[in-house]
Structure 1
Amino acid sequence: MAAEDPALLNLDPLQQLRAGRMPLRLAQLVVGLVIFGASIAIVLRSGLGMAPWDVLHVGLSHHLPLSIGSVSILVGMIVLLLWIPLRQWPGLGTVLNIFVVGTALDATLALLPESLDGWGWRVAALVGGVVLNGVAGAMYIGSQLGPGPRDGLMTSLSELTGRSVGVVRTVIEVTVLALGWLLGGPVGLGTLVYAFGVGPVVQVFLPRFTIRLTRPAA
């Protein structure tokens, strides 16, 4: 997910740790990641489709002896390995993103009913899940402790190829979506709602959750 805010600083992993306000930033990061994982579970239970990467995770879970959250963690680790040839270093938030989101996803799925009865509940779950996802994304981005592994891959490939982040993100997510669909992942109305809805939600909430920092001295 890509969003811009003038208070967001382009910090390397060491600068992220030295920029101050760590208790607040770490708490916001973890809470944001937990909500992010929970929101994915809510959207899944709507049965109306999911975001491209989540379609892939669900599709893979049909073919692997792993839970959806465990697949999310595994894919995140593989994506992080792709950072190595791109000469990118993960931040604390990048690493926590991999493990906290997947764990929160599985925990929330265990608490929710297997399916929702009635279109009203399903649409409410979809819309509510997407809104929560956007709010959570704004929270972990605003902590300024490093991008998620998938976001970092997109921005790194953008820098490497000279293409815009939008173009690179579209190519990656269409590819991921197609692969997930072929593996049996849920594609539907929710996929479109997520694609067009989560960005504006992040844009609205990111200024509210961006923790103002001062760039540490070299």
Structure 2
Amino acid sequence: MGKLLLGLLLFAVGVTLTVQAELGLAPWDVLHSAVSQLTGFGFGTASVMTSLAVLLLAMALGTRPGIGTVLNTLLIGAVIEVLLRVGFAGAADQWPWVARLLMLLGGLAVIGIGSALYIGAHLGSGPRDSLMIAVHRRLGVPISLARTITEGSAFALGWLFGGAVGVGTVVSVLLLGPMVQLGFRVLRQTPVRPEP
């Protein structure tokens, strides 16, 4: 359980860094902003709606929710909200562009480590990571490619329907999968339990 909670905390810190870099929304957040615009619901409600739809798809592809799924849904958002309110990274919007890019890259690396820890705990992945695991299993592709497929799909749908896109979005699409894969390798975690 400790590995799960540490992973979720690190994931939230990483997301906060990418948001505060202010270089563009991450792919799933591009989709959330599009859903918000299309439905008239707030960004948070759009995120929950998306989470439920993605979780149903992941379950249809064979993944099962667990305690990690519930904690992911409840804790990550709450921690991000607190970190953003207290100005976790300071006045990053006033930093030079290169410093903000480094913040974005650092945030992606922390997300990769957090993902490897909480998924490696095998207590259930969040909706988006459950979909990544389902793609990994179904297509037999590496985690990096499975992550890139899911992030890229969210990005494409969000962009198609008018979500906010920036250079940080493109960087996230290209690098988040490899960062998660690296997190699994460095921490010697496995994305799925080995079959007997």
TM-score normalised by the chain length of structure 1: 0.66
Specify the code of the residue in structure 2 equivalent to 1:138: A
Aligned to 1:82: 57
Aligned to 1:145: 123
Aligned to 1:134: 112
Aligned to 2:174: 196
Assess, with a 3 A threshold, how the Cα gap between structure 1 residues 38 and 182 changes in structure 2: closer, same or farther.
farther
Specify the code of the residue in structure 2 equivalent to 1:55: V
Q: In 1, are the aligned partners of 2:4 and 2:117 still within 8 Å (CA)?
A: yes
Segment of structure 1 superposing worse, 138-147 or 170-179: 170-179
User: 2:153 & 2:177 partners in 1: Cα distance?
Assistant: 20
User: 1:85 & 1:202 partners in 2: Cα distance?
Assistant: 24
Aligned to 1:4: none
Q: Percent identity between the aligned chains?
A: 37
Assess, with a 3 A threshold, how the Cα gap between structure 1 residues 138 and 51 changes in structure 2: closer, same or farther.
same
Higher helix share: 2
Q: Match for 1:66 among 42, 46, 51?
A: 42
TM-score normalised by the chain length of structure 2: 0.72
Per-residue deviation at 1:168? 6.6
Per-residue deviation at 1:177? 1.0
Q: In 2, are the aligned partners of 1:94 and 1:147 still within 8 Å (CA)?
A: yes
User: 2:110 & 2:182 partners in 1: Cα distance?
Assistant: 12
User: 2:178 & 2:61 partners in 1: Cα distance?
Assistant: 29
Equivalence map 1:1-218=2 (5 Å) = 26-61=1-36, 64-68=40-44, 71-86=46-61, 88-112=63-87, 116-117=93-94, 118-156=96-134, 163-165=139-141, 172-207=150-185, 209-210=187-188
User: 1:85 & 1:138 partners in 2: Cα distance?
Assistant: 23
Secondary structure of the equivalent of 1:198? Answer: helix
User: 2:132 & 2:181 partners in 1: Cα distance?
Assistant: 18
Q: CA RMSD in A?
A: 3.3
Segment of structure 1 superposing worse, 169-178 or 127-136: 169-178
Per-residue deviation at 1:155? 4.0
Assess, with a 3 A threshold, how the Cα gap between structure 1 residues 184 and 41 changes in structure 2: closer, same or farther.
farther
**Which deviations, in whole Å up to 9, do the C-alpha atoms of 1:48-82 show, x marking residues without a partner?**
124321222244455645354x5434422332233
Specify the code of the residue in structure 2 equivalent to 1:143: A
User: 2:49 & 2:43 partners in 1: Cα distance?
Assistant: 10
Specify the code of the residue in structure 2 equivalent to 1:198: L
- Consecutive unaligned residues of structure 1, counting only runs of 5 or more, are 1-25
Per-residue deviation at 1:140? 0.9
